[in-house]
Amino acid sequence: MGSIQTETIVDQPNSKAAGLKLYALQGSYGDFRDDLARDGYAVVKGAIPKDRADSYASTMFSYLEDFGLGFDRNDLSTATEEHLPIINEKGMCMNYGLAHEKFMWDIRTEAGVTEVFEKVYGTEDLLVSFDAANFTFPNRTDIPPNKPWPHQDQDPEKPGFRCLQGLVNLLPNGPNDGGLIVCKGGHLLSEEFHDAFRGKETRIHQWTNEWYGFKEDGMKWLKDHGTEWVKVCAEPGDLLIWDSRTPHYNLSSTSSSPRFCVYTCYMPVSDATQEDLIRKKAAFEAFLGTTHWPNAMHSGSNVAKRNGVPDPHNRDRPETLPVLNEKGFKLTGIPYIKA
């Protein structure tokens, strides 16, 4: 993968992940961390300046148009599977080397984004996930409907604050424009909830232990314990963050507006093993995506399926390769691998 340009290699991390004790700390921060600790989520306004957010959104439209399948941003009737790369009903595009497109890495290395996670974790030595982008178009009838799928992205048997998820919103996202739905305060009830249900339910199938789906009785339990579900609204450039214990899902737009965002999740390098870093390096060099967990415990594939067979438009590398500065290269985890 020598065609990706990088700059300075750095030394080993020199700080600990103090942020993992976030909810044990006392007092007020006077910033977004107060919302995060209390509600399990927060909106960081203007993490990316609006002009750059608008530019990223335009690049994402161009990315779809450049497949040459007939999609036209000025005619959303062309937002159908035959005119687009494969995007699932939840809006996620996860193949084609997309995770390593230049615009994806440019967003991940935005100072206003990384600084939020640095504040939470108390360190600048972070890893970033090679996560997906979301291209949700309204009124699509060519794919299955996006039904609510309330879940938490954390193993119930590993309680406590372990991971902070995030997404950068890139188009105006109001109450009817689809997007993130969170169970406000649900993170604080996570351990009690799982103690109540452990051994008494047949769980929804999960492909990883770091996922738990909430069934009807679980939703009732959350309601009976005073929680409420909130649609999180955002402007272009806003960063939405949430504790991985927080129950959440997304919905499609019921307006005429599409929704674009890029998922951004970071964790301290000190939480990753050397095996994790080596696995992450392999994903980076193969242009593969990962889940939101930045230690790359699971990596994906660049082979999308169209009508049950490999998409003839598959790509095994980004269309536009990223140019990584020192910060970006550190976020890959490669500089922290011991010789």
DSSP string for residues in 191-245:
HHHHHHHTTSS-PPP-SSSS-EE--HHHHHHHHHTT-EEEEPPB-TT-EEEEETT
Q: Give the alpha-carbon dihedral of 17, 275, 323, 258, to 10 degrees.
A: -70
Domains of the chain: 18-336 (2.60.120.620)
Q: Give the alpha-carbon dihedral of 181, 79, 319, 314, to 10 degrees.
A: 100
Confidence category of residue 94, pLDDT binned at 50, 70, 90: very high
2 pLDDT exceeds 70? no
Confidence category of residue 20, pLDDT binned at 50, 70, 90: very low
On average, the pLDDT of the chain sits at: 90
Q: Give Dmax (Cα) for the chain.
A: 56
**Quick one: which H or E segment has residue 65?**
helix 50-65
Q: Mean pLDDT across the stretch 19-41? A: 73
The predicted structure's pLDDT at residue 27: 59
Exposure string of 4-17, with b = 16+ CB inside 10 Å and e = fewer, is bebeeeeeebeeeb
The predicted structure's pLDDT at residue 292: 87
Contact by Cβ (8 Å): 13, 269: yes
Percent of the chain scoring above 90 in pLDDT? 80
293 pLDDT exceeds 50? yes
Q: What does pTM read for this prediction?
A: 0.91
22 pLDDT exceeds 80? no
Q: Mean pLDDT across the stretch 242-267? A: 95
Q: Which residues contact 310 (CB under 8 A, 6 or more apart)?
A: 303, 304
Give tens-digit pLDDT for 136-191: 999 899 999 889 999 999 999 998 898 999 999 999 999 999 999 999 999 999 99
Q: Cα–chain-centroid distance for residue 243?
A: 12
How far is residue 122 from each of residues 14, 17, 38, 119, 243, measured CA to CA in Å? Answer: 11, 6, 19, 5, 16
Adjacent-strand bridge partners of 240: 43, 167
